Every structure is written in structure tokens, then in C-alpha cells.
């Protein structure tokens, strides 16, 4: 079990979703958005898993970085398509990571 003493807070965007339609176009868009996010200033990482619900979390250095990524033109288009075609429901939570520890 490790824990950092000089921990610097960062930010997480928790995206929880229920899909109504999971087609090839969605899969391609998801890959494209994951790749594009990695190139954005302040990007720190990404984790995703899906069973009945999907949980995707992106990590960012600052709130500004999150805001800029949300407003990115290509990402805006993906968000629009997501609402029209793929998602029955989603919830976005913007969080400040205040503490962390890990095992293994």
C-alpha cells in the first residue's frame, strides 16, 4: 500500500451511461475520441469498463483542461451524435481528486 505525501490534486470526469444503440460507428467514434483526448493539454489518463452500465473516467490537470476538451469542435460533434444515436442516458460528474492510494 503506497500513499504519496506530496500529492497534487487533479480532476476526474466520471461519465456513467446506458446505451440505446451500440453500432460500429459508435465503436469507431469512441476510439477516435479516446485518441483525440490524449493529445489535449492537461490530459492525464483514461479508464473505461462496461457491463449493464458503462463507466468512463478521464483525468485532467485542471478544470480549464476539462472545459477546453468539452468545447473541442470534434468532441462537440461526438457529444451531439451521442445524444441523438447512442445514449439512452448519461450522467457527467466533475470531480476533484483529493487523495489516492494503491495496492499491487
Q: Give the binding site for a second copy (CB under 8 A).
A: 12, 14, 16, 18, 47-55, 57, 83, 87-104
| Least CB distance to a second copy at residue 93 (A) | 5
Cα–Cα separations (whole angstroms), residue 82 to 8, 9, 11, 99? 33, 30, 23, 32
Cell for 64?
480549464
Cell numbers 489535449 correspond to what residue?
Answer: 40
Residue closer to a second copy (CB basis): 16 or 68: 16
Residue closer to a second copy (CB basis): 38 or 93: 93
Q: Extract long-range pairs of 69-73: CB within 8 Å, 24+ residues apart.
A: 69/37, 69/40, 69/43, 72/36, 72/40
Residue closer to a second copy (CB basis): 39 or 88: 88
Max Cα distance, the chain (Å): 45
| Least CB distance to a second copy at residue 57 (A) | 7
| Least CB distance to a second copy at residue 66 (A) | 10
φ and ψ of 69, to 5 deg:
-65, -40
Residue closer to a second copy (CB basis): 36 or 97: 97
| Least CB distance to a second copy at residue 69 (A) | 15
Amino acid at each position: 500500500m503506497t500513499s504519496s505525501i506530496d500529492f497534487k490534486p487533479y480532476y476526474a470526469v466520471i461519465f456513467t451511461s446506458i446505451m440505446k444503440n451500440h453500432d460500429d460507428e459508435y465503436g469507431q467514434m469512441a476510439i477516435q475520441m479516446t485518441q483525440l483526448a490524449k493529445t489535449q493539454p492537461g490530459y492525464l489518463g483514461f479508464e473505461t469498463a462496461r457491463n449493464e452500465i458503462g463507466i468512463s473516467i478521464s483525468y485532467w490537470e485542471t478544470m480549464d483542461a476539462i472545459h477546453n476538451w468539452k468545447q473541442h469542435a470534434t468532441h462537440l460533434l461526438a457529444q451531439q451524435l451521442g445524444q441523438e444515436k447512442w445514449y439512452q442516458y448519461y450522467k457527467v460528474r466533475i470531480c476533484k481528486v483529493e487523495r489516492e492510494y494503491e495496492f499491487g
